[in-house]
């Protein structure tokens, strides 16, 4: 998607659209919308980095949550959609992505809390995915 279009999108509205796609169990629409959310968040992130590199202050875009949340949410929703579609390897890859959000630079305290929450969600999601995939020995431990 072109960056000019991405700049005009609001991440919170995309989250609402994503939640509606989940509610309707339209997993292909979840994948599509999660990709748009990630691209939008990535565009905002790149603008912020560019602005800071030029010596400016941190570019502010009105969002209800820290920027890292939108990146994590997009990966988590993609993982759930892939799981529902039976594409376990793709679901695992998405789980790894939102479990590793902490590798981004310059995170503030609120963002670090979001990172920790996504790590916990990833652990739970990974556990449920593996049990669903037939690794019942995880239940015995």
Instruction: Please give, one letter per residue, the 3-state secondary structure of 43-84.
Output: HHHHHHHHHHHCCCCCCCCCCCCCHHHHHHHHHHHHHHHHHH
pLDDT grade for 45, boundaries at 50, 70 and 90: confident
For the entire predicted model, the pTM comes to 0.89
**How far apart are the C-alpha atoms of 36 and 1, rounded to whole Å?**
8
Task: Note the pLDDT tens digit of each residue in 55-111.
Answer: 766 556 789 999 999 999 999 999 999 999 999 999 999 999 999 998 877 789 999
Q: Are 92 and 133 in contact (CB under 8 A)?
A: no
**How far apart are the C-alpha atoms of 49 and 43, rounded to whole Å?**
10
């Amino acid at each position: 998607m072109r960056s000019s279009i991405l700049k005009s999108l609001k991440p919170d509205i995309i989250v609402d659209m994503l939640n509606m796609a989940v509610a309707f169990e339209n997993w292909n629409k979840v994948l599509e919308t999660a990709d748009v959310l990630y691209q939008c968040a990535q565009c905002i992130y790149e603008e912020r980095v560019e602005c800071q590199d030029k010596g400016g202050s941190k570019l502010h875009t009105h969002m209800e949550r820290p920027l890292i949340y939108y990146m994590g949410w997009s990966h988590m929703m993609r993982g759930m959609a892939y799981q529902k579609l039976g594409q376990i390897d793709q679901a695992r890859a998405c789980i790894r992505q939102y479990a590793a959000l902490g590798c981004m630079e310059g995170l503030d305290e609120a963002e670090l809390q979001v990172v920790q929450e996504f790590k916990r969600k990833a652990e739970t999601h990974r556990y449920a995915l593996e049990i669903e995939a037939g690794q019942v020995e995880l239940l015995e431990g």
